[in-house]
Amino acid sequence: MSAIEFAPGLFTRGITPPLALADFKLVAFDMDSTLIDIECVDEIAAAAGRKAEVAAITEAAMRGEIADYKDSLRRRVALLAGVSEQALHEVYAQRLRLNPGVEAFVLACRAAGLKTLLVSGGFTFFSDRVRQRLQLDFARSNVLEISDGRLTGRMVDRPWGDIVDGAEKRRVLLEVCELMGISPDQAIAVGDGANDLPMMGAAGLSIAYHAKPAVREQAMLSIEQGGMDRALEVLR
């Protein structure tokens, strides 16, 4: 199904705007390059002098050119071994910014009664802070292993598994829907990379935000110019 340009830089597919935001009960967000304007793993790699190497793997993974997301993340995290914990604080303080329109869109969702979920293939060091800053209800992401103040190049196993990949993002979305007693059709999923497609495909409304081509081509709403609050031109 081809996309229709609803407004300049705003494309819809398979939906008839406007939609009622209050008809939805949950909104799930990717973090890196969606809620925030960086890929955290790439910025941490800069402290190790390996940003170009890590960023190339990240770009390929987000475009869907690497089939095994877990393996791609393990490879990138392994290259971070020896980076100081202080570098994480510096990335957060100096490099991480919320994307335009994110705060306005999250506020509008909360005002309409939606619960908010952050589900990220990134790291809790950043997602915990972003969750608190935006007052999100739920979050799941990966934990970097730190020993003696330095990254070990590994991630910590969690009770639910080892790494948040596309399948885990979808599973978390469906689990939260079940806990809330709602249908996945009442959920919105917002992302930009190939690992977001499984959860976007499970949700009643999928929103691509300045996304990779494969994601733009499958999303029901694609924001290609402007901030995330442009979704409110479709969701009233």
Residues marked active site are found at 30, 32
**Residues 6+ positions from 107 with CB-CB distance below 8 Å:** none
**CA 172, CA 56: separation in Å to the nearest integer?**
28
Q: How far apart are the first and last CA of the chain?
A: 24
Angle at 97 between CA 219 and CA 138, to 5 degrees: 60
Cis peptide before 18 (omega within 30 of 0): yes
Question: CA dist 158 to 29, 121, 140, 151, Å?
Answer: 21, 13, 11, 17
Write the DSSP symbol of residue 22: G
Listed residue (195, 218, 236, 211) closest to 24, CA to CA: 236
**CA 82, CA 150: separation in Å to the nearest integer?**
5
186 touches 25 (CB < 8 A): yes
Tell me the three state secondary structure of residue 122.
Answer: strand
Tell me the three state secondary structure of residue 112.
Answer: coil
